[in-house]
């Protein structure tokens, strides 16, 4: 069965998976969605006998149908290799009554590695398949983790350049250091005066500028995206939810066909959408718990049916979730509107104009698989401290938001199903927040890298290479600009005047 992709905003032409990956964002500003969700082709017991690379092929081949077996297996082999510090790629660890799916064992110690390790391979393969002669310019906004993972993936990849915009004062010190020390002659990192939504809106505006696209084409360039708006990011994320389920099955923790719950700390909505796609493929998932921090726009949406970004933007200890415009939610909106591109376009126009929209009661009825919970900053810190004191396990602030949300969900519903929590980043990426949550008085005055050493002593875990290599790495990227200067910054980097 061939799976094609259409825009959520109604462009009639369907494109192949490789074309959707190359474009990133549809020409009409919409997001590419599969014309249908394929069903898992193997039974769960068979999948349970596979390693991560084998399972990745079985899932991804169903979505990326214009890639040959040889092409896709080569992409997978190039992605899930020694860059990961564990053969399992995504291990499951039991903590406090739930299973933590550790998605941070890749090169940049965040879950973005799971997809951004393979995206450069998918994109360069797609370029060859489609006889693309232009140099591909990856343009990405980041709230902290996507940037470094994308930079690491695309650095020095022939035929590509990558430009990452991040909020100058809106990421952790270690997140920033990871980005601004990035090597690679084809890389540019730019801090903007603004928040993540400003960066994301700026990138979308550049993508939507037809005159600029023609100017780039004349100079031998074309844009694509490494954000989760790219379907090439979303499809690899489906894999690890299937992997988590079949690993629980292989260990005898669940019966074949038994439903589980999944809890995901959520900002741009891509990670939880991947879990939803896994459910639609036939994976036995009961509830999808959307966990928010104090920027709880998604919590309010699932509680009321109104999406409203007109609220203060709060900088929290979980910066990758400091987002008020969750781009991937559009894919869900399109689906619950019955694949009605007109309705989706109408709601997105309302969001752009008024900063909010309200879905219909019929659409709300399609959201029974989801529920929303949030954690305040004190609750998140208490969850980190509690997990350490009770289980000797140290988690990062994004995972603690999810763990807190799960506790609230369980207390409110009494639902005792086996639950998987997406553990999205290493605690080493957020050492200050983590260590101050455990003991603010003891660790509050230490430097960031002193805290790294303290965390190693505390947790008994090895300091990741991603942290060791930036201790003394020189800063290579010092560009800072205003939001309105983003386009010119891109042109300067590409040598277009």
Cα–Cα nearest to 189, from 491, 483, 490 = 490
Residues forming a β-bridge with 479: 190
What are the backbone angles phi and psi of residue 35, rounded to the nearest 5°? Answer: -65, -25
Kindly report the three-state secondary structure assignment for every residue of the chain: CCCCEEECCCCCCCECHHHHHHHCCCCCCCCEEECCCCCCCCCHHHHHCCCHHHHHHHHHHHHCCCCCHHHHHHHHHHHCCCCCCCCCCCCEEEECCEEEEECCCCCCCECHHHHHCCHHHHHHHHHHHCCCCCEEEEEEECCCHHHHHHHHHHCCCCCEEEEEEEECCCCCHHHHHHHHCCCCCCEEEEEECCCHHHHHHHHHHHHCCHHHHHHHHHCCEEEECCCCCCHHHHHHHHHHHHHHHHHHHHCCCCCCCCCEEEEEECCCCHHHHHHHHHHHCCCCEEEEEEEECCCCHHHHHHHHCEEECCCCCCCCCCHHHCCCCCCCHHHHHHHHCCCCHHHHHHHHHHHHHHCEEECCHHHHHHHCCEEEEECCHHHHHHHHHHHHHHHCCCCCHHHHHHHHHHHHHHHHHCCCCCEEEEECECHHHHHHHHHHHHHHHHHCCCCHHHHHHHHHHHHCCCCCHHHHCCCCCCCCCCEEECHHHHHHHHHHHHCCC
Find the largest Cα–Cα distance for the chain: 62
The count of C-alpha atoms lying within 13 angstroms of the C-alpha of 217, restricted to the half-sphere facing its C-beta, is: 8
CA distances from 356 to 136, 308, 359, 466 (A): 34, 4, 10, 39
Cα–Cα nearest to 34, from 297, 343, 256, 331 = 331
Cα 422 from Cα 97, distance rounded (Å): 14
Active-site residue list: 112
> Do the Cβ atoms of 448 and 173 come closer than 8 Å?
yes
């Amino acid at each position: 069965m061939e799976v094609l992709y259409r825009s959520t905003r109604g462009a009639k032409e369907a494109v192949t998976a490789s074309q959707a990956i190359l474009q990133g964002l549809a020409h009409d500003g919409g997001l590419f969605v599969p014309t249908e969700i394929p069903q898992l082709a193997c039974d769960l017991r068979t999948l349970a006998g596979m390693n991560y690379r084998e399972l990745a092929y079985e899932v991804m081949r169903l979505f990326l149908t214009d890639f040959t077996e040889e092409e896709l297996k080569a992409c997978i082999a190039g992605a899930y290799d020694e860059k990961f510090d564990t053969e399992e790629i995504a291990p499951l660890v039991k903590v406090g009554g739930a299973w933590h799916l550790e998605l941070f064992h890749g090169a940049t110690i965040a879950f973005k590695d799971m997809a951004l390790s393979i995206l450069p391979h998918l994109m360069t393969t797609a370029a060859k398949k489609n006889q693309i002669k232009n140099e591909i310019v990856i343009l990405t906004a980041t709230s902290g983790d996507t940037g470094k993972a994308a930079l690491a993936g695309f650095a020095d990849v022939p035929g590509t350049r990558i430009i990452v915009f991040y909020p100058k004062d809106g990421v952790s010190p270690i997140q920033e250091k990871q980005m601004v020390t990035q090597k690679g002659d084809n890389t540019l990192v730019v801090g903007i005066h603004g928040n993540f939504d400003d960066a994301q809106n700026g990138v979308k505006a550049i993508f939507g500028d037809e005159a600029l696209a023609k100017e780039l084409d004349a100079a031998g360039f074309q844009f694509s995206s490494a954000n989760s708006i790219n379907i090439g990011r979303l499809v690899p994320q489906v894999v690890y939810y299937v992997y988590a389920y079949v690993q629980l099955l292989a260990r005898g923790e669940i019966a074949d066909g038994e439903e589980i719950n999944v809890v995901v700390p959520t900002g741009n909505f891509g990670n939880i959408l991947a879990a939803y796609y896994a459910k639609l493929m036939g994976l036995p998932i009961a509830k999808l718990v959307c966990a928010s921090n104090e920027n709880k726009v998604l919590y309010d949406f699932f509680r009321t049916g109104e999406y409203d970004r007109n609220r203060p933007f709060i900088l929290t200890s979980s910066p990758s979730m400091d987002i008020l415009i969750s781009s991937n939610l559009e894919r869900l909106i399109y689906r619950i509107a019955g694949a009605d591109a007109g309705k989706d376009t109408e709601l997105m126009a309302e969001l752009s104009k008024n900063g909010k929209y309200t879905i219909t009661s019929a659409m709300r009825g399609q959201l029974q698989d989801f529920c929303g919970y949030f954690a305040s900053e004190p609750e998140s810190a208490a969850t980190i401290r509690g997990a350490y004191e009770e289980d000797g396990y140290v988690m990062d602030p994004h995972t603690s938001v999810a763990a807190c949300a799960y506790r609230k969900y369980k207390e409110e519903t009494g639902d005792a199903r086996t639950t998987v929590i997406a553990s999205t980043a290493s605690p080493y990426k957020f050492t200050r927040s983590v260590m101050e949550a455990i003991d603010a008085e003891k660790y509050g005055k230490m430097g960031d890298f002193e805290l790294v050493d303290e965390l190693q002593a505390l947790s008994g875990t090895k300091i990741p290479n991603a942290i060791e290599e930036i201790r003394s790495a020189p800063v290579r990227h010092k560009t800072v600009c205003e939001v309105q200067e983003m386009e010119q910054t891109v042109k300067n980097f590409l040598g277009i005047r």
